[in-house]
Amino acid sequence: MTTTLSATAAGLPTPPDAAKKPHEVKAPHGAQRSDEYYWLRDDKRKNPEMLAYLKAENAYVDAAMAPLKPLEDTLYNEIVGRIKQDDSSVPYRERGYWYYTRFETGQDYPIQARRKGGMDGAEEILLDVNAMAKDKQYFNVGDFEVSQDNRILAWADDAVGRRQYKIRFKNLDTGEIYPDVIDDVSPNLVWADDNKTLFYVENDPETLLTVRVKKHVLGTPASADVLVYEEKDDSFYMGIGRSRDDAYICISLHSTVSSEARCAPAADPKEFVVLAPRERDVEYDVDHLDGRWVIRTNAPGADGKPAPNFRLVTAADDARSRKEWKDWVAHRDDVFIEGFELFDGFTAIAERSNALERLRLIGKDGKEEFVKADEPAFSMGLSTNSEHDTPWLRYTYTSMTTPATTYELNTQTGERKLLKQQPVIGYDPDQYVTERFWATARDGVKVPVSLVYKKGFEKNGKAALLQYAYGSYGSSTDPGFNSTVVSLLDRGMVYAIAHIRGGQELGRKWYDDGKLFNKKNTFTDFIDVSAELVKAGYAAPDRVAAYGGSAGGLLMGAIANMAPQQYRVILSQVPFVDVVTTMLDPSIPLTTNEYDEWGNPEKKDYYDYMLSYSPYDNLKAQAYPAMFVGTGLWDSQVQYWEPAKYVARLRDLQLADKSDGKPPLLFRTNMEAGHGGKSGRFRRFREQSEMYAFMLDQLQVGSRQVGSGPSPK
């Protein structure tokens, strides 16, 4: 490969040029900003001029990527060729049935099924999602639940991609689809014990916030559904679920810094009682087994000391305040408690230490032990443990070289069973190496980095590198196996995950140090990791690519403004790049819930800080890296107009690179999808292959290395 898209740009059509239309965005404190591309926003997605612009950008991508279509096809065939097409999940037992998901060769969507008594029983197909998705550009089943008597199925599906679901019902004895349909809900369903009452969460039709819990009685119109609970504070999200022992149905409410649980007996769910009233900066989540509540919380203990990394407490059935909580598992500064699972004979705690996940087991006698791991960088977590009256713990294990693996551990005897490892056709884990690297950020903080590369790689400063990160909401990016990355490793690239501040890999402080007025740490950490990896010889300084999506797309926009010279190419999916304007508009989904994540720009100090890093507002006349930006027209989390405006303004300001002209800027809108891209297990790999082809071309990465094995068919 000797030419890049920028070198052949003379043969391409002229990039689309969106019209400029004067518009002022005003803040309550009087600040104003000019937004000449504000007109690209259309909540109904019907403006002909806007749609024409998006289609023109797509046509430009088609033309620009035409020379790379063979490479895209090769990558797609490699990625899809690693997938075992007739695959199935590990079955789990619940109320006498074994439930599982399976795929058929050539099919995009799963089949949800079960067998009575054991896996040798007759198969009952609950949902054939392939048939349901026929002739649809997008389709997703977000949740399904079987009634307690095993006879009625309720499910929630979305045929648009905007995450507004419809609930439907099926009689599993007869196959009859009931006429009952409930619109505009989140995919979160719970049956009461009477097998005819379904609890669900209703969304606000404009903001898509989870605002009401309702109950539907089969055979009655949805318009008659009874309101169970309505949340008035629009900074809270809401969900509903059953307790571990099925004794309670609980409504869980949580904001960035506060939470609350309301529970009612599943046998008679008339009154939902608050277990502990919400308090700012106090978070908790609950479960119930063996006649007591077990609660994970960051509330201070009896000694008054704060517990930012969370601790576990217990409470009696009738406890109604924090004063009645009893200490159980103490808070530690070096261990973050992420979750737990209750069993009759033990409790499994999912926790983080030294930026790695681990599982701690606590027996009834108080004895503790850890589930063992075999690699320096890995990801371990709780799997589906549907029953509590068993000594067997199911957990998942993966690393950047080990495909997702499900184990079952007998906590009494120590016996371990391998239930399944994700099959990856043509992949040999012994040909790849993973390691943990610690980069020093500009303020002296050590940032963990997980790396993977092909065996035989030399740290001579010549390789190409793809660096990924997210770094927001306390969401940790763990070092798991990524089948698509194998195509990069086989071409000599290095892949790195930067565990930057804003995630929670190193505990709650790691998160707090990357949000609100500390948000810029997220961006500078990423930039400093790139520099450290180059310095250590993992990559050539002119062959570094960066990749992020959603809030990770904000990260991509920020680093492009702050350190464009460090990156040859940036891949940005559904990027949150218009931070201030979005956060000033409470009608946009997710805005009000996130004031404690980003800040409320109606307050001038937050406004000024957010404005200082918002990618759209900080674009300037300079040389930017080559970029591939993607979005979905129906995205409900990051609206399509954010990346559309960003690309339009960037086209105005982007300067030519000194060497070979202006780097390419491509903007792809999926016209039939939302935040997660196309539905179906194969379609999304077409989008990934297009981005990878663009990146490989820009990095001047050649074909697969000798010894990589045959390219999968």
Query: Considering 472, 550, 572, 679, which one is annotated as catalytic?
Result: 550
Helical ranges in 14-108 per DSSP H: 48-65, 69-81
Sheet holding 569-573, edge to edge: 432-440, 446-454, 494-498, 465-468, 544-549, 569-573, 626-632, 665-670
pLDDT digits (tens, 9 = 90+) for 249-261: 999 999 989 999 9
Catalytic residue check, 550: yes
Residue 363, domain member (yes or no): no
Q: Tell me: the pLDDT tens digits for 165-214?
A: 999 999 999 999 999 999 999 999 999 999 999 999 999 887 888 899 99
The structural domain count of the chain equals 1
Q: How far apart are CA 28 and CA 21, in angstroms?
A: 23
Q: Is 309 within the bounds of a domain?
A: no
Estimate the share of the chain in helix, then strand, then coil, as percent rounded to the nearest 5.
20, 35, 45
- Three-state SS for 63? helix
pLDDT confidence bin for 227, thresholds 50/70/90? very high
**Alpha-carbon separation of residue 499 from 27, 50, 381 (angstroms):** 34, 37, 18
Residue identified by tokens 């950020």 is 441
Is residue 513 part of the annotated active site? The answer reads: no
Q: Does residue 563 fall inside a structural domain?
A: no
Q: Identify the CATH number of the domain in which residue 36 sits.
A: 3.40.50.1820
Kindly tell me if the per-residue pLDDT of 248 is higher than 90: yes
Residues in contact with 374: Cβ distance below 8 Å, sequence separation at least 6, in sequence order = none
**Mean pLDDT, residues 571-579 taken together:** 96
Considering the candidates 288, 331, 499, 675, report the single residue annotated as catalytic: 675
Digit-coded pLDDT (tens) for 262-301? 999 999 999 999 999 999 999 999 999 999 999 999 999 8
Query: The whole model's pTM is what?
Result: 0.88
Q: Residue 3: which pLDDT band, with cuts at 50, 70 and 90?
A: very low
* 571 within domain boundaries: no
Instruction: Say if 189 falls within a structural domain.
Output: no
Task: Choose the weakest-confidence range: 330-339, 401-410, 553-562, 658-667.
Answer: 658-667
Active site residue 675: yes
Q: At what angle do helices 551-562 and 520-535 cross, to 10 degrees?
A: 70
For residue 50, the enclosing domain spans 1-81+600-696
Say if 588 falls within a structural domain.
no
| Average confidence score pLDDT of the chain | 93
Task: Supply the pLDDT for residue 8.
Answer: 46
Domain-located, residue 669: yes
Is 45 contained in some domain?
yes
Percent of the chain residues past pLDDT 70, beyond the cut: 95
Selecting among 35, 490, 635, 697, the annotated active-site residue is 635
